[in-house]
Structure 1
Amino acid sequence: MGNTSSMLTQYDIEEVQEHCNHTFSQQEIVSLYQRFCQLDRNGSGFISAEEFLSVPEFAVNPLSQVNGVASDLKHPHEIKRLLRMLDGLNFKEFVAFLSAFSPHATLQQKIEFIFKVYDSDGNGKVTFSDMLEVLRDLSGQFISEPQREQVLTHVLEEAGYTKNSLLGLSDFMKILGNTGLKMEVEVPVD
């Protein structure tokens, strides 16, 4: 699987399915592999942030735009956060990343993905500041900083936490576990 010019074997497909907890069918994995090979323009077996930014669908995505201008790697956090997670992934890791968006992913898998987005330094804890940064990225200029802080403080208090709480994955499970969290994409099968 390291060489993207080779074809996937049945063993490779089953190994990737196992790695992503069977969130994708074998046919979907083959389609994802073809897309991965298209992204891996230099044939290294890994995709870079730059290669991912070459996806036309991503280029027109609102998250890749800042003030109406297409982002590059010098632009703000919302794009950098996801690109950091994608940069340097091999095929198996790429599918595991996408598996959080599968309709077959469990709520826990989706919450684990969200936790990784918030835990930008990877220390296993999310602070008020981490959450405020994501909220700032999502709300832009539509909400003032004091309003963001007030909303976030209220949400935390509703869940039994304070501004000084350090949240772990289990805390995210508690907060998001009863929501109707829906984040799904369809993998086109050729």
Structure 2
Amino acid sequence: MGAAHSTSEEVRELVGKTGFSSDQIEQLHRRFKQLSGDQPTIRKENFNHVPDLELNPIRSKIVRAFFDNRNLRKGSGGLADEINFEDFLTIMSYFQPIDTTMDEEQVQLCRKEKLRFLFHMYDSDSDGRITLEEYRNVVEELLSGNPHIEKESARSIADGAMMEAASVCVGQM
């Protein structure tokens, strides 16, 4: 976040781009600096010591989402090696609740952005589709923490859920 004299202008721009308040941006900037070790960018390794992610079964997908160029609005695919603070805010903005002061068109646009973000998390090969194999991987990751569910059971659950979804969304998957 630049020199002191330009900080307020930078914060105003970030408020407009992300929807975070200036206080939230300052708080997220402190967290960014903590994660990055006071460096100007964050790499995937910087997420290795985030306690809230350590036990999350889809941790790898969440971390990958921070570096996915599609989520960073920087292209149609591929992963960035590192992200700066503005990129970090862009990704964090997907996790914000929808603002109740938005009109219906803005709400729909916001929902579409959030769904696109989630889609990108699961479309691991960036081909614009979530295949049965990608879906299986997600279900297996989510169920991996449950010692009572074997891998074959997780695969059957994924297959059944995908077939049900396919019957409802014919032509959209």
TM, length-normalised to structure 2: 0.70
- Contact 2:139-2:155 at 8 Å conserved across structures: no
Q: Tell me, in whole angstroms, the C-alpha distance in 2 between the residues paired with 1:40 and 1:97.
A: 16
- Contact 2:36-2:42 at 8 Å conserved across structures: yes
- Contact 1:36-1:91 at 8 Å conserved across structures: yes
- Contact 1:47-1:86 at 8 Å conserved across structures: no
**TM superposition shift of 1:131:** 2.0
Counterpart for residue 9 of structure 2: 11
- Contact 1:100-1:113 at 8 Å conserved across structures: yes
Counterpart for residue 62 of structure 2: 82
Pick the aligned partner of 1:50 from 23, 45, 53: 45
Letter in 2 for 1:94: F
Segments of structure 2 that go 5 or more residues without pairing to the other structure are 68-81, 100-109
Q: Tell me, in whole angstroms, the C-alpha distance in 1 between the residues paired with 2:139 and 2:166.
A: 13
Pick the aligned partner of 1:99 from 85, 93, 113: 93
Counterpart for residue 147 of structure 1: 157
Letter in 2 for 1:15: E
Q: Tell me, in whole angstroms, the C-alpha distance in 2 between the residues paired with 1:19 and 1:53.
A: 28
- Contact 1:19-1:92 at 8 Å conserved across structures: no
- Contact 1:48-1:86 at 8 Å conserved across structures: no
Q: Tell me, in whole angstroms, the C-alpha distance in 2 between the residues paired with 1:32 and 1:50.
A: 18
Counterpart for residue 56 of structure 2: 62
Pick the aligned partner of 2:28 from 21, 27, 32: 32
TM, length-normalised to structure 1: 0.64
Greater mean alpha carbon deviation, residues 145-154 or residues 6-15: 6-15
Deviation string for 1:117-145 (max 9, x for gaps)? 01112233322222222122112363332
Tell whether 2:105 aligns with 1:109.
no
Q: Tell me, in whole angstroms, the C-alpha distance in 2 between the residues paired with 1:80 and 1:37.
A: 21
Identity %: 24
Cα RMSD for the two superposed structures:
2.4
Structure 2 CA distance for partners of 1:82 and 1:14, relative to 1, 3 Å: same
**TM superposition shift of 1:151:** 1.9
Deviation string for 1:50-92 (max 9, x for gaps)? 2122223333x433xxxxxxxxxxxxxx332222233522111
Q: Tell me, in whole angstroms, the C-alpha distance in 2 between the residues paired with 1:144 and 1:86.
A: 27
Structure 2 residue matching 1:62: 3-state secondary structure: coil
Q: Tell me, in whole angstroms, the C-alpha distance in 1 between the residues paired with 2:155 and 2:27.
A: 43
Structure 2 CA distance for partners of 1:139 and 1:56, relative to 1, 3 Å: closer
Tell whether 2:132 aligns with 1:128.
yes
Segments of structure 1 that go 5 or more residues without pairing to the other structure are 64-77, 168-190
List, as ranges, runs of 4+ consecutive aligned residues in structure 1 with deviation greater than 6 Å.
Answer: none
Query: Which gives a bigger RCO, structure 1 or 2 (Cα 8 Å, sep 6+)?
Result: 1
Structure 2 CA distance for partners of 1:50 and 1:150, relative to 1, 3 Å: same
- Contact 1:39-1:51 at 8 Å conserved across structures: yes
